[in-house]
Amino acid sequence: MYSKIGNFKLLPIAIGINFKLLFCVLLSSCAIRQQPSGGEKDIVSPKIERSIPENYSVNFTAKQIRIDFDEYIDLKELNKQLVISPLMNSDPEVSVKSKSLIIKLPDSLRENTTYTMNFGNAIVDTHEANAFDDFQYVFSTGPVLDSLQVNGEIKFAENLKTEKGIVAMLYNNISDTVVYNTLPDYFAKTDSAGNFLIKNLRPGTYKLFALKDANANYKFDSKAEAIAFSNETITVPDSTIHHLKLFIEPDTLPHVLKAQFVAPGKAIIVFTAPVKDFQVKPLTPGDNNLKDFLFEKSGTTDTIYVYRTDSLIDSLNAVIFDGEVIVDTIHVNLNSMITSRGKGDFISPSLNVKTNLSGDVLEMPAHLIISFSTPLKSFDISGVALTKDSSTTIPLILNRLTH
């Protein structure tokens, strides 16, 4: 039996049931939603369209750098990736505005200096984080771009292993102690193979150090930091490949336990162990003239007394050595200050004298010993008289005792 609905014919009931099931399945399959493929994955790094001022500019005076890219960008781990050589007195402000990188520079740039800003892999596109690898922006505040370089490799002395991120540092100041308190004039970081390349250098003579910088301050200020250095100065232009071996000073060496004020013009340095060959150098050349100090060892050689010979000197800043091995750095105040009601008053130094007399009596045949609180620069024996009675003078022989 057939029936008509519009222009369609319906089959008998049993067949119609199968048709209805098939029709429902077809409708269900049409209702399933699928994510569109979206095309191929973006693997292209962002590209620079323009830089203001242009990269590699000379006579640079701009306060801001703007670098425009062809797509939206982000910054990834900028604090780890960005390396600026030489270091600036304060960090630039780096930000992103849609497709542009904005760099606001500090006011205190050096004159006639070539700066290299290496962003590593910090600049990435917004969608897929494709990195713009090893981008460098270079400019000079003078009329020329310095183009010389120093390269080498850094390994750990104990196992010859390499590590990414070890800092190779160059200093104009060629003092052995410059690494303690002075920022490097130029630096670069090693790759995973231990290689470094310090670029955009001007001609000159430099001291080369390497440092595993634990606190990222570009100074050797912790015994836990591994250090290496070149025994000879480096004169640029330089074609030598420099091989440096990092080491950590063993804990068996003496360390400064304390270095502190004792009395006006006097300080004490106490070590954790005896110092066999005590040596001292100014922390910064010209900071202190060591001829203005006297250093007196204790009998056990684990304590050093420091005396100034010039009353105008108020402190000692120095590096302590045991022979050629660096022990520690010290910063010692040599003026005592008493604070009262917010005002400081310096105590004037005084010279205290004591003898080995017992109740003003010296038992013979003992010698009379006169001790002073500080070492004497000079002693005028003509001002001393030893008398037997009010009129009889006994000849006096004076000998200086050393400890």
What the block records as the tokens of 339 is 């604070």
Residue written as tokens 């067949």? 15
Strand partners, 358: 361
| Adjacent-strand bridge partners of 329 | 319
pLDDT at 11: 43
- Which domain-ending residue is among 140, 172, 205? 140
Mark which of 140, 161, 187 sits at the end of a domain.
140
pLDDT at position 373 is: 66
Could you tell me if residue 208 is inside a domain? Answer: yes
CATH code, 305: 2.60.40
Q: What are phi and psi of 90, to 5 degrees?
A: -140, 150
C-alpha angle 46-51-52 in degrees, rounded to nearest 5: 150
Same domain, 58 and 134: yes
At 14, list the tokens: 């049993």
Q: Is residue 24 one of the residues assigned to a domain?
A: no
* DSSP strands (E only) in 202-265: 204-211, 227-229, 234-236, 241-246, 256-263
Query: Could you tell me the two tokens for 141?
Result: 């505040």
Give the CA distances from residue 218 to residues 91, 225, 226, 325, 390, in Å, rounded to whole numbers and listed in that order.
14, 11, 12, 21, 71
Q: Are residues 133 and 60 in the same domain?
A: yes
What is the pLDDT at residue 287? 59
Number of domains in the chain: 3
**Which position has the token pair 């009675």?**
389
User: Domain for residue 89, yes or no?
Assistant: yes
Gap between the Cα atoms of 321 and 329, Å rounded: 9
Q: Which domain does 273 fall in, by range?
A: 256-339
Judged on CB neighbours under 10 Å (0-12, 13-18, 19+), 308 is: buried
CATH number at residue 155: 2.60.40.10
**Are 228 and 155 part of one and the same domain?**
yes
- What pLDDT was estimated at residue 299? 74
328 DSSP β-pair partners? 320
Q: Is residue 31 part of a domain?
A: no
Judge if 292 and 242 occupy the same domain.
Answer: no
Helices (H) and strands (E) in the chain, counts: 3, 32
Q: In terms of domains, do 242 and 315 share one?
A: no
Q: CB neighbours (10 Å) of residue 227?
A: 19
164 and 217 both lie in a single domain: yes
Name the domain boundary from 140, 170, 200. 140
For residue 294, give every residue at least 6 positions away whose Cβ sits within 8 Å of its Cβ, in sequence order, or none: 306, 307, 308, 309, 375
Residues in CB range of 6: below 8 A, 6 or more apart: none
Q: Are residues 217 and 263 in the same domain?
A: no
Contacts with 217 (C-beta within 8 Å, 6 or more apart), sequence order = none
Closest CA to 326 of 256, 261, 232: 256
pLDDT in 10s for each residue of the chain, 403 residues: 444 444 444 444 444 445 444 444 444 444 444 555 555 676 788 999 999 999 999 999 999 999 999 999 999 989 888 989 998 988 899 999 999 999 999 988 999 999 999 998 899 999 888 989 889 999 999 999 999 999 999 999 999 999 999 999 999 998 888 888 788 999 999 999 999 999 999 999 999 999 999 888 888 877 778 999 998 999 999 999 999 999 987 666 677 888 888 888 888 999 888 888 888 888 766 655 777 888 888 777 788 888 888 778 888 888 888 887 788 888 888 876 433 333 334 444 566 777 877 777 777 777 778 777 666 667 777 777 777 676 777 777 777 765 5
Q: Both 101 and 161 in a single domain?
A: no
Q: Do both 264 and 321 map to the same domain?
A: yes
Q: Which CATH number covers residue 124?
A: 2.60.40.1220
DSSP 41: P
**Whole-number Å distance between alpha carbons of 185 and 189:** 14
Q: Are residues 231 and 294 in the same domain?
A: no
Q: What is the pTM of this model?
A: 0.55
* Helix, strand, coil percentages, rounded to 5, for the chain: 10, 40, 50
Question: Is residue 39 assigned to a domain?
Answer: no
- Considering the domain architecture, whether residues 231 and 293 belong to the same structural domain is answered as no
Q: Is 371 a domain residue?
A: no
Task: Say if CB 93 and CB 125 are below 8 A apart.
Answer: no
- 364 within a domain of the structure (yes/no): no
Rounded CA-CA distance 148/264 in Å is 51
Whether 187 and 201 have beta carbons less than 8 Å apart is answered as no
Instruction: Provide the pLDDT for residue 2.
Output: 43
Give CA–CA dist 159/171, Å, rounded.
28
Residues 136 and 177 both lie in one domain? no
In a domain, 132, yes or no: yes
